[in-house]
Amino acid sequence: MDITKIREKFKSLYGTTGDVYTSPGRINIIGEHTDYNGGFVLPGAIDKAMYCEIKPNGTDKVRAFALDLNESAEFGLEEADAPQQQWARYIFGVCREMAKRGKPVKGFDTVFAGDVPLGAGMSSSAALESCFGFALNEIYGLGFERFEIALIGQATEHNYVGVKCGIMDQFASCCGKEGNVMKLDCRSLEYEYVPFNPKGYRLVLINTCVTHNLAGGEYNKRRESCERVVAEIAKTHPEVKLLRDANMDMLQAVKGKVDPVDYMRAEFVVGEIQRLLDATKAMAKDDYETVGKLMYQTHEGLSKKYEVSCPELDFLNDQAKELGVSGSRVMGGGFGGCTINLVKEELYDNFVKTATEAYKKKFNIDPKVYDVVIKDGARKLA
Ligand code: GLA
């Protein structure tokens, strides 16, 4: 993204120049709704990001300008100073979470903008939190590690936005590495970079351009379902603290004791954690056909058991299947946003053309297509 507009606005609003930082959105190959269950995920940072110019202003107030919305906000840094606008709460939350960890920041001026599509399942909000987390950490010399900045972003979602998200998005945004996905163990936060270069295939996102999930309500309900099942299993297996610690036998043993919907949710999660492990094994053998099959299974589970898909996403998934795409599934939290598709080079053009035309015909919406480019995580630009 061209940052000239950010720089011009910053200069015109504050009469000076600051430092420019960026932090990206993410994709995830497989492992959905596993992070808050302590399982594994396989995300990578992408070439779409949030960008901010920032400079301490010597006061105890933050003056922020959201260029894409053409809106400004001014707020203090005490708990009672929480701003009204949602976008400003992300910035405020990051500052508050830093203060709660004994490292308060002071007032600053900022202008920010981005090219991560909103509501597309590519984690625009994590990109925003990570961008400010990383920038504030550097300009105030706070000494947080990247993974701690990710945790600060996650806590911001929990405490200032109301979404009880896992750690995947913020982690990918902070720790991403060009050309690599991360196999992240969300229980221990141990991770390894896995080069992602599926020869003969392309990875493409198709954005339904619909969002059905309002304020994270359904997302939080999924998490609660998982927690209720864990509580039941823990009665006989106290070592089980998260669904990651459970297996199918333990799950089946509580089948009659938990709500059938909760059971179905948990069944998806336990299966999904295993699917990720199977997919990484297949990747190590360059067996992307197997990876693709697992992606379809993930979609099936997210649609039928976890119920976070929607007709638009299911339609794109069916299209992919009919057009010979190796793997396809809803990506991210669900309820709209993108499908991620692993498609053989030679099928790519026909798939994109046919699927987008069919989608437009059926829903009267122009879907958006993004080729995935895996880039570095949070960094200073200028
Ligand atoms: C959202 C959340 C993540 C993760 C995904 C689903 O993106 O922010 O923590 O739970 O949904 O995998």
Same domain, 230 and 162: no
CATH number for 31: 3.30.230.10
Residue 164's pLDDT is 95
Cα 349 from Cα 336, distance rounded (Å):
24
Residue 101's pLDDT is 98
Atom of ligand 1 nearest to the CA of 35: 10
User: Between these two residues, 332 and 119, which has the higher pLDDT value?
Assistant: 332
Number of domains in the chain: 2
- Per-residue pLDDT tens over the stretch 60-71: 999 999 999 999
Same domain, 178 and 211: no
Catalytic residue at 169? yes
Cα 39 from Cα 380, distance rounded (Å):
31
pLDDT of 218 above 90? yes
Same domain, 48 and 67: yes
Residue 119's pLDDT is 86
Q: How far is the CA of 6 from the centre of ligand 1 (A)?
A: 29
Q: How many CB atoms lie within 10 A of CB 151?
A: 20
Same domain, 322 and 207: yes
Tell me the residue range of the domain where 351 lies.
201-372
Same domain, 171 and 294: no
Over range 155-174, report the average pLDDT.
97
Q: 135 is written with which tokens?
A: 């920038």
How does the average pLDDT of the chain come out, rounded?
97
Same domain, 58 and 158: yes
212: pLDDT confidence band, cut at 50, 70 and 90?
confident
Instruction: Please state, for a pLDDT cut of 90, what percent of the chain lies above it.
Output: 97
Same domain, 145 and 188: yes
Question: Is any ligand 1 atom within 6 A of the Cβ of residue 268?
Answer: no
pTM listed for this prediction = 0.97
Phi, psi of 173, deg, nearest 5:
-65, -40
Same domain, 185 and 215: no
Same domain, 162 and 251: no
Same domain, 166 and 206: no
Q: How many CB atoms lie within 10 A of CB 212?
A: 17
Residue owning tokens 């959905």: 32
Q: How far is the CA of 361 from the centre of ligand 1 (A)?
A: 30
127 and 50 in contact (C-beta within 8 Å)?
A: yes
214: pLDDT confidence band, cut at 50, 70 and 90?
low
